[in-house]
Structure 1
Amino acid sequence: MTDVPPINRIRRESTLSRDEYRERIVQEILETEISYVDSLHTCIVYYYEKLQTCQPPILSRKQIEDIFLYFDQVYNVNQAFLNDLQTYKIEGKLSRSIGETFQRFIPYLKVYYQFIGNSGVSLHTLTELEQSEYICSVFEDLRCQIPGTNQLDLRGFLIMPVQRLPRYNLLLTDLLKRTPNTYVDYPKIEIALKEMKKLTDSANKAIIAAERRRRLFLIEGKISGFSGKLVEPHRCYIKEGMLMKVCRKTIKPRYFYLFNDILIYGIGDSNNMVISQVVDVANIVVKNVEGSINGFELFTNKKSFVVYAIDQNEKQEWINEINKAVEKMLNTLRTRNQLNDDTFIKPLFVPDDTVVKCMICNKPFSFFIRRHHCRFCGKCVCNDCSLMRLPQPPLNIFERTCSICVDRRLLSAQPIDKDLIRSSLFSLDSISIEPTSLLLK
């Protein structure tokens, strides 16, 4: 028997009556459920149970649980759902009982939300295991043991529950269109569709959250030197990339990760990075470097500096994403009454090689007259112009202070905060430093 060409199939379907088309949808719901439940059972028998019972053990109990958490519960719920559909089919009641059956089982289908919520952990565990050629060969042997044509790999089976909920939505939507509103099952189909859409929306949010956790797990495996846990429920990945950081003596490449609550940078690349600094997003101020195509300034409560992106588009993207993250975090902190408006933002240090004389007394720097930086304004000054030490928030450690900042702080008795940095009252004008040796413009 040959397949019907698509155009002929469309014509054939267009000739069906409303009731005939409706019966076809009902039959499709039953047939796809049979195939779906059979696939779930195949995964349990040929992957889950074999991995649990194989000797010697290939995976730990925790690894198996991380991969298959809630999978067997999804199978049990759908097996019971299928049993009811088949019972109604035998009794000749299926066509007028679809809505009622879905409505009755939707509360149990919420197990999908739990299963999908674990998918980030599941896929991350699989990714780590697949680094081993031996485990990959074991998975392949298990796949080849599956009889028939349904020889999917493990990932193929695990993605099925994620794909099933949208399929239910499509089938119920199509069924409702083909069901007269006077039909006995119409109100129950309508309610079932509404509840299924809510469940699917929740599942979609769980998918997004799971993907977010998976991304954080991957990043956590690539960085070192982070104190605490990178993977947190509230943390979202936003952007990453290489930027050229202007240090005191030279310009160095640094890899940056931006999250919704922190900015991390360090030495390395996208595969491996040693952290140099972690900064709370709420304590970041971004300023454009006037006259520079690719440069912008990052002011933070720990360290401030100029960075250069590879091109103008990349620069603007970084500025926009950081500003959006800062604004969102500040709004969140204000809502919780946790915003600290007195946070001290470190000044931008003037690079050593851009200054040949003290920026206060104009003495030329030499072997005997060394460069120093004021910790409150960032100016490059001589020792005579920075004899004083004043406490710097938040730890109030006494830091080198130039004579101008001493006068200013003694008169105002106020810390330098983010608003002052934004208005440039306590910072230098944007420093135009172009790393021409790196061919950045």
Structure 2
Amino acid sequence: CSAAGMRLKAPASRNLLDRVPFTGTNRLRLSSEEQILLPPNFTHCRQVNAFCILIHSVKNPKCLLSSQETNEQKLFKIASELLHTEKAYVARLNLLDQVFCTRMMEEANKGTFPLDVVKNIFSNISSIHAFHSQFLLPDLEKRMGEWASTPRIGDILQKLTPFLKMYAEYVKNFDKAMELLKQWTDRSPPFKAIIQEIQSQEICGSLTLQHHMLEPVQRVPRYEMLLKDYLKKLPQNDPDRSDAEKSLEIIATAATHSNSAIRKSVSSGADFLP
């Protein structure tokens, strides 16, 4: 039996096989949108063993034998979703910072168009990218690898809260960035050509620069949503509750500003289509 690319051996005892009822397909299910790992329906002990190893829960595999999803599994799924969406988010930040911004800065340094225009469009995207790629994502990856002994995410998300000021700056500048982008796309053929050339690449997924620039604005509300779901499943006496609640309180405030910016951009008719 195999899971997530690992070849796993069946349990030494095969007598238990008849004790586990057939409950459905034995495939790992993946969300088509974000490739989020969900627990499989178990058909026999080999699959129970595989999934326990996959989530590092070998200490208590019996917890997974129930046909009903346990609370621990629900918490793991939320943490897993956080990690998978964070990976996708960092990839989009890299696109904005290292592809769009870097290319346009190179052209601006040649005098093709003003350097200040590029700086004002991309604001502090490099700082946001650096924080998530160098700190938050590695911390989440490490934590998911230690989930059996440290099943918590509140303490990690609490590290995010001091850096929400970066998002406040980005959100505050967002309308100005959209206006500058529109002005210089209309005014400068070279400016427009560079953007269109990058947008035509597969890495952009047939989406515009404006659409990708909305990602950091949308990310904070996504943290809020995941944390709320996490806290609903978290026992009242769980050691992670205090950190998770503190994180949610601060993130929710930042999410309010982000949601306001999203509504304003939509109502202003920003061009998010290719």
TM-score range, shorter chain: 0.5 to 0.7
State how 1:236-247 maps to structure 2 within 5 Å.
none
Q: Are 1:33 and 2:33 counterparts?
A: no
Q: TM-score, normalised by structure 1?
A: 0.42
Equivalent in 102, 108, 118 of residue 64 of structure 1? 118
Q: Are 1:125 and 2:180 counterparts?
A: yes
In structure 2, what is the Cα distance between the partners aligned to 1:44 and 1:5? 28
Q: TM-score, normalised by structure 2?
A: 0.66
* Aligned match of 1:181: 236
Deviations 1:53-112 (A, max 9, x none): 137443311110111011112212222211211222234468633101111221112211
* Aligned match of 1:159: 214
CA 1:158–1:64: 2 relative to 1, 3 Å: same
In structure 2, what is the Cα distance between the partners aligned to 1:4 and 1:89? 18
Residue type of the partner of 2:93?
Answer: L
Q: Considering only aligned residues, what root-mean-square deviation do their CA atoms show, in Å?
A: 3.2
The alpha carbon displacement at 1:206 in A equals: 5.7
Which runs of at least 4 in structure 1 moved beyond 6 Å after TM superposition? 1-6, 208-212
The alpha carbon displacement at 1:46 in A equals: 1.4
- Segments of structure 1 that go 5 or more residues without pairing to the other structure are 216-441
Number of aligned residue pairs: give it: 209
* Aligned match of 2:145: 90
In structure 2, what is the Cα distance between the partners aligned to 1:50 and 1:5? 34
Residue type of the partner of 1:72?
Answer: S
Deviations 1:357-398 (A, max 9, x none): xxxxxxxxxxxxxxxxxxxxxxxxxxxxxxxxxxxxxxxxxx
CA 1:4–1:45: 2 relative to 1, 3 Å: closer
Fraction of identical pairs, as percent: 22
In structure 2, what is the Cα distance between the partners aligned to 1:72 and 1:138? 19
In structure 1, what is the Cα distance between the partners aligned to 2:149 and 2:112? 45
The alpha carbon displacement at 1:150 in A equals: 3.7
In structure 1, what is the Cα distance between the partners aligned to 2:190 and 2:149? 48
Q: Are 1:137 and 2:190 counterparts?
A: no
In structure 2, what is the Cα distance between the partners aligned to 1:159 and 1:76? 18
State how 1:409-428 maps to structure 2 within 5 Å.
none
SS of the aligned residue for 1:130 comes to helix
* Aligned match of 1:42: 95
CA 1:201–1:2: 2 relative to 1, 3 Å: closer
In structure 2, what is the Cα distance between the partners aligned to 1:168 and 1:153? 24
* Aligned match of 1:52: 105
CA 1:201–1:137: 2 relative to 1, 3 Å: same
State how 1:41-440 maps to structure 2 within 5 Å.
41-54=94-107, 56-79=110-133, 80-92=135-147, 96-132=151-187, 133-145=189-201, 147=203, 150=205, 152-204=207-259
**Which range moved further: 62-71 or 88-97?**
88-97
In structure 1, what is the Cα distance between the partners aligned to 2:120 and 2:246? 34
The alpha carbon displacement at 1:156 in A equals: 1.6
Q: Which has the higher strand share?
A: 1
Higher RCO (CA 8 Å, separation ≥ 6 residues)? 2
Determine if contact 2:96/2:125 at 8 Å carries over to the other structure.
no
SS of the aligned residue for 1:118 comes to helix
- Segments of structure 2 that go 5 or more residues without pairing to the other structure are 1-26, 33-37, 42-66, 270-274
The alpha carbon displacement at 1:37 in A equals: 0.6
Residue type of the partner of 1:19?
Answer: E
CA 1:201–1:58: 2 relative to 1, 3 Å: same
Q: Which has the higher helix share?
A: 2
* Aligned match of 1:230: none
Determine if contact 1:39/1:150 at 8 Å carries over to the other structure.
no
The alpha carbon displacement at 1:205 in A equals: 5.0
In structure 1, what is the Cα distance between the partners aligned to 2:178 and 2:97? 17
